[in-house]
Each structure stands twice: as C-alpha cells, then as structure tokens.
A and B are shown apart, each in its own frame.
Chain A
Amino acid sequence: MQNERIKPIVMPKWGLSMSEGKITGWLKQPGSTIAVGDDLLEVETDKITNVVEAGEAGTLRRVLAEPGNVYPVKALIAVLADPDVPETEVDAFVAGYAVPKGDDGAEAEAAPRYLFTETPAGTLRYAKRGDGGPTVLLVHGFGGDLDNWLFTIDALAEGATVYALDLPGHGQSTKAVADPTLAGLSAALRGFMDTVGIGPAHLVGHSMGGAVSMRTALDAPDRVASLSLIASAGLGPEINHAYIQGFIAATGRRDLKPVLETLFADPGLVSRQMTEDVLKYKRLDGVDGALRALSAALFDGGAQAGVLHGAVAAAGKPTLVVWGGQDRIIPAAHATALGSNARAEVIPNAGHMVQMEAAGTVNALLKEHIGVR
C-alpha cells in the first residue's frame, strides 16, 4: 500500500549489530510541522544514545512508540502526513503497515555483518554495505574500529558502495602492526584494497585514519578519488597527548571512561557499554603493544610526526574537511590548514567523534562531497 502523502518513521538501524532500540523521548509533539533535518526523537541502543532526524517533511500525525519501550529496527514508530490527509487514511496506513522486506531486508540481514580477508598485512576485518554508485572507504582513527562509522555506513550506502575496515592493530583485525608509520598503515590500506578488489575510492578518514588517507592520496594518487578528512590528524602538529597516553594506560572502566569522555562534546554519550566494548578490545593480546608502537611512531613527545597538509594541498584532490568545534583531541583550528584547497566545515557543539555526535550533518556533507544520491 503506497501512499505518497503518508510517510512512515521507523526505528533506524545504527551500525551493523543494532537489532532494536529504546525510545528515550520524543522531541516533537503530535501535530507539529516537521522539516527535513528536524530532531524528532532520541533513541538509545546498547552502544549509544542519539537523535533521530526527520528524513522527510510533513505533519507529525501519529506517535506510535512510547518512551521507555524497545522496538525492533524498521518498526513503525510514527507517521508523517500532509495536514489534509484524512484521519481514516492515516489509521488505515498504520493498520496496514508491514515492515519492508526484500533486498534491503531479509537478504541483507542474512548476509554476514562482518567479513575477514587475508592481506599482506595480515587478517583484516571489514564490512561492505550498499551496491552501485561511487565507492567509499571509511578509515577509523587511533584505538577505533569500523563501528566508529555506525551512523555513517548505512546512510552513505543508500547511494554508494561503502567499505569500512579495521586497520592493523585495531578492532578484530590482526594485532600485528609491521610498520606503525602513516606509510605503513597506508600500505596496509592499499593491500586491503587490492585483496578485496576495490578500485579508486573516495577515502573518508577520521583522526589518524584521515592522515592515513592523505598519505594514500600522496603515495598512490590513482587509488584515491577524493578525500574527506574528519577531525583529521596530519593537518598540524598539535594533538592531545594526555588523551593518547590515558587511552593506552587505562586498564579498567574507571580509568577509561573519563578518557573516552574527552572524545565527545557531550560526555553523557559515553555509555557503560561503550566503555566496556573499548575495554574488551584493549584486553586482547597484542593491542597494548600495537597502540604503544603507533603512538611512538605517530605522536612521539605529544606532537604529530606526519604533517601532510602542504603536500596534500599541492596534490589537488577534491577534499572536504569536517571538524567538531568542541574537539578536545585535535584542535578545530586545523580545519583551515588546507586553505582554499579544501572545503572546511566546523560543526559547533560536537567533539572529536563528530561523525557520531552530529551524524546527520556530517552524512549530508559527505554525500554532497562524494556525490552520493
């Protein structure tokens, strides 16, 4: 039953492991007029709490999901419709609503969430979402993993083929980091692209992953269609060394949580589960050594070893720079390091994990820059 004037609002899917979400509160009342991008409600998952933005405009005619309750991904939680749509039609839409199946449904769910591939740098974990359109490769930062893109990957995959990997030493990839320099990580990234068969790609790098992406654009320009640098390393010498040292040193929840809180403008986003997930990673054999080696090679003495903006500016790749105005890890002043050679956007009220904290805005910028439709 298709009705162009009635639009469902469903429980979003954030990240590969999300199967359900809890409504923590509605930010709009029934009857409100909704514009695209308006904050509609807050949803809590076992990883993080975030705001759901309106993807379409209309009047909020029905709010079906109650705060405090848990709903599966894609469940109908509210209905938008034009004001002149009769109540009976809205009711009929709700009554007849079926969770969509098909290529984005059952088949995608049945496919493995995470994939593993043997590369010259060792076993690497990755995810692939979407088909057709431009090819995008998401590269996380120091101590991160591909789940740092949980709000990004599916949004881009609506109109692109999106890959995200765990770099060596990270996530569920090999913990051996043969060469902990930017050149070494870039070589590992290109080895991954070769193994999986990824042609020239739009590289989206966060923090250390941004510097790895820049290094790749310099060392193998034919592999890189464009650069999107999010709170990126490599654009200036400053970095919060206390954060790097604190992240490496923390062995328990009580040490780690305050360290993770510096990643966000809103420290309340660091949930018990997020802290526990990072701890589970940090406890794995080999991780401590990998992080120490990377830190020594890239941030020795509290200054970034690889400052690449001069070379990247000269290389002339289309480049987008995005920063959170409240970044406490790498200063937002680095956003303008590429001058007129890049589009720079600083998002106020977001921290270092700007792609999570202001996901809607960052996704829109990425889609525009990469040409995702």
Chain B
Amino acid sequence: MARKISMKQAINEALDLEMTRDPSVVVMGEDIVGGTGSPGEDDAWGGVLGVTKGLYAKHGDRLMDTPLSESAYVGAAIGAATCGLRPVAELMFIDFMGVCFDQIFNQAAKFRYMFGGKAETPVVIRAMVGAGFRAAAQHSQMLTPVFTHIPGVKVVCPSNAYDAKGLLIQSIRDNDPVIFCEHKNLYGLECDVPAESYAIPFGEANVLRDGGDVTIVSYGLTVHRAMEAAEALARDRVEAEVVDLRTLSPIDWDTIIDSVERTGRLVVVDEAHPRCSIASDVAAFVGQNAFGALKAGVQMVTAPHVPVPFSPVLEDLYIPNAPSIAEAARRTLSPTGTSPRSIAA
C-alpha cells in the first residue's frame, strides 16, 4: 500500500528491499553505519545525513564502513561487481568523485567493451548532488553532465521519493555501472510511495504537466522550480508541458522531441554549469533533430559558470529559480525573442 514517505526514507527502503531480496547486494561507504569498531551505539549515524540508518541492524556486515579513501572503496566496489556481488557504494558528496575518475571512467565504464561483452559491472555509486545546502563550493556541485559524457556509465537523478525508490531498485538490478545522484535538498520531500518493490525503467522521462505552448525540460530539484514556473505561466494563460528526465544516460529523446513538435518552444533547466551541460546537450539535440518544429530559439536556464557561492544570498541566486524559468518561457513566446514582461492576450 502507498503512504507518504520522504525521498530519504524511499532510498533507505529501496536498499532494504533489495538487500532482503538479493544476498549479493552489499552497501559500503564512509560512516554509512557509523560507530563500527568504536564504543557506543552500533548504528548511530547511517551516513552523513542518515540515509542508511537502521540498515545495519537488519543486514549486519553486508554494510561496510570504509576508510576515508574514495579511490580505494569505489575501486573495491567495482572489482567486487565484476566478481559477482552487486555493491552499492555511497560517496557522500559527488564532488569527491574526482579521486575515483580512473576507477569509474577507465575501468567500470570500459569493462563490458574491452572484455568483449564477457564482463559485467553491476555497481551503483550513490552520491549527493546540488546546491542550497550551505555546504560551499566543494560539496554542492551538480556534476551530472560529467558522468553523462562517459559511455558505459548510466546516470540517474530523481526528483521525488516515488521515482527515487523505483530508480534505485532498477539501478541495483541493472548490470551496468550506475551513478545515482540524490539532491540533498529533496531528501525531506514526501510523496505517495508503495511499500512494495517496483522498478522504473531507465530512459523513460515523466511528463508532470500537460501544456501546448512551451516545453520545459529539467531533472532533479529544478523540476519543482519548473512546475512553479508553469503554474505562474498558467495564470497568464500560457500552458507549459513539464518533462522530468529522471535518467540522463540513457535519456528519453522521444518524449522531448514529441513534446517540442507539439509546442514548438523549448526551455531546458539545469542546475549544472551551462557549458557542456544537460541543458546544452538537450538544446543541441532538439536543434539538430527538430529544428523545423521550433518557433523560437531554445532557452537554457542554468547555474552560472562559477563555483557555488558560500554566501547564502548568492547561493540562492545561483540555483535556477521559478521566475527565471517563467521569464525564459516568455522569451520563447515573444515574436522578437526579447523579454516582454507579459504575453497575456
């Protein structure tokens, strides 16, 4: 039965269900149990924000607290995956991935290809992404495009608890390496989630709102900003269709193209930096494959090309917001491509 739970609880539940279903699923990371080997409560932390709390009590040593060495344990998880386990490595902040690039880019992503299809690497690397947490420039990046760039790695970034559970279960069952990106400012967001197990297939975008005037494509936290913008636009009689990509690699081009062919206008919203981003990727694909359908230039709403500021005021300005998304949509509706304040007829 469905009940309202948070995205944090949904991720915990997905791990719990898959560990129960499949004994080859193991979880490893820094302080994911917390307190192992030291006096005091055995299961005190459950990860830096408590996502894995309670799992040690149920699954014991299949959760491993690792040393503070991402290079080592991400490599270990990838190696274990090639040898028959289904490890889920938690990497706290995606910003720390820098020290594991060889393991991910050159090893995990390449095994299936370089061993003639004989090697599989069913590993999931979970990490927190995104700004707005007052965690400064080294703990706040949206590095989804970096991983999307690499063939052989799948990239997932859910916007809500229902999707997080189904996509994480799919990630664990998938036979390829998956980078599972969890926006830390969505952890507390609740929605209806079935208690049972379910898997959401990769490459299936979700359409959150129907509209015939403009398509807004996004993923993760900014999906909610896009929905706010769509509500504001609706008050001016502009109906936006909002597409939540859910997975960035593979990506659901068909849903994007279908929508743009109906609306003729596209706004892509991405919390990543603008250069070589999901926004520029989608804009380029639509420009190349649906140019004839476009009635206006594609608009991108992204973070600026600067590190995430630590100043709370600046950090809030850094993340794409609903007014800037609505404004971009209005630009696509303006015959001159400039930005009138209102296009209400």
Residues of A near any B CB (own CB < 8 A):
114, 116, 125, 172, 175, 251-254, 272, 276, 280, 283-286
Q: Which residues of chain B have C-beta atoms less than 8 A from A252's C-beta?
A: 201, 204
Q: A114-B1, A125-B1, A252-B204 are in contact. Are A283 and B254 (CB under 8 A)?
A: no
Q: Could you tell me if B201 and A284 are in contact, using CB atoms closer than 8 angstroms?
A: no
Q: Which residues of chain A have C-beta atoms less than 8 A from B80's C-beta?
A: none
Q: How far is the CA of A254 from the CA of B199 in the complex (A)?
A: 17
Q: Which residues of chain A have C-beta atoms less than 8 A from B293's C-beta?
A: none
Residues of B near any A CB (own CB < 8 A):
1-2, 162, 166, 194, 196-201, 204, 206-207, 210, 254-255, 258
- Which 9 pairs between the two chains have the least Cβ-Cβ distance? A283-B198, A285-B197, A252-B204, A284-B198, A284-B196, A172-B1, A251-B201, A272-B210, A272-B207
Contact of A283 among B199, B207, B255 (CB under 8 A): B199
Q: How far is the CA of A172 from the CA of B201 in the complex (A)?
A: 21
Q: How far is the CA of A285 from the CA of B258 in the complex (A)?
A: 30
CB of A286, distance to nearest CB on chain B (Å)? 8
Q: Could you tell me if A280 and B198 are in contact, using CB atoms closer than 8 angstroms?
A: yes
Q: Could you tell me if B194 and A284 are in contact, using CB atoms closer than 8 angstroms?
A: yes
Q: How far is the CA of A172 from the CA of B192 in the complex (A)?
A: 13
The contact sample of 7 A-B pairs, CB cut-off 8 A, is A172-B2, A175-B196, A252-B204, A254-B255, A276-B206, A283-B166, A285-B199
Q: A253-B207, A254-B254 are in contact. Are A280 and B194 (CB under 8 A)?
A: yes
Q: Which residues of chain B have C-beta atoms less than 8 A from A253's C-beta?
A: 204, 206-207
Q: Which residues of chain B have C-beta atoms less than 8 A from A283's C-beta?
A: 166, 198-200
Q: How far is the CA of A284 from the CA of B17 in the complex (A)?
A: 13
Q: How far is the CA of A251 from the CA of B1 in the complex (A)?
A: 21
Q: Could you tell me if B196 and A285 are in contact, using CB atoms closer than 8 angstroms?
A: yes
Q: How far is the CA of A125 from the CA of B2 in the complex (A)?
A: 12
CB of B96, distance to nearest CB on chain A (Å)? 32
CB of A259, distance to nearest CB on chain B (Å)? 16
Q: How far is the CA of A125 from the CA of B210 in the complex (A)?
A: 32
Q: Which residues of chain A have C-beta atoms less than 8 A from B210's C-beta?
A: 272
Q: Which residues of chain A have C-beta atoms less than 8 A from B196's C-beta?
A: 175, 284-286
Contact of B198 among A116, A125, A285 (CB under 8 A): A285
Q: Could you tell me if A116 and B1 are in contact, using CB atoms closer than 8 angstroms?
A: yes
Q: How far is the CA of A272 from the CA of B243 in the complex (A)?
A: 12
CB of A283, distance to nearest CB on chain B (Å)? 4
CB of B119, distance to nearest CB on chain A (Å)? 27
CB of A17, distance to nearest CB on chain B (Å)? 10
Q: How far is the CA of A2 from the CA of B37 in the complex (A)?
A: 74
Q: How far is the CA of A45 from the CA of B196 in the complex (A)?
A: 26
Q: Which residues of chain B have C-beta atoms less than 8 A from A284's C-beta?
A: 194, 196-198
Q: How far is the CA of A283 from the CA of B163 in the complex (A)?
A: 11
- The residue among A175, A272, A276 with the most chain B CB atoms within 10 A of its own CB is A272
CB-nearest residue of chain B to A271: B210
Q: Which residues of chain A have C-beta atoms less than 8 A from B162's C-beta?
A: 280
Q: Which residues of chain B have C-beta atoms less than 8 A from A251's C-beta?
A: 201, 204
CB of A127, distance to nearest CB on chain B (Å)? 13
Q: Which residues of chain A have C-beta atoms less than 8 A from B206's C-beta?
A: 253, 276
Q: How far is the CA of A330 from the CA of B162 in the complex (A)?
A: 35
Q: How far is the CA of A252 from the CA of B1 in the complex (A)?
A: 22
CB of A274, distance to nearest CB on chain B (Å)? 12
Apart from the given pairs A172-B1, A280-B198, A286-B196, 9 other A-B contacts in the complex at a CB distance below 8 Å: A125-B1, A252-B204, A272-B207, A276-B206, A280-B194, A284-B196, A284-B197, A285-B196, A285-B198
CB of B294, distance to nearest CB on chain A (Å)? 22
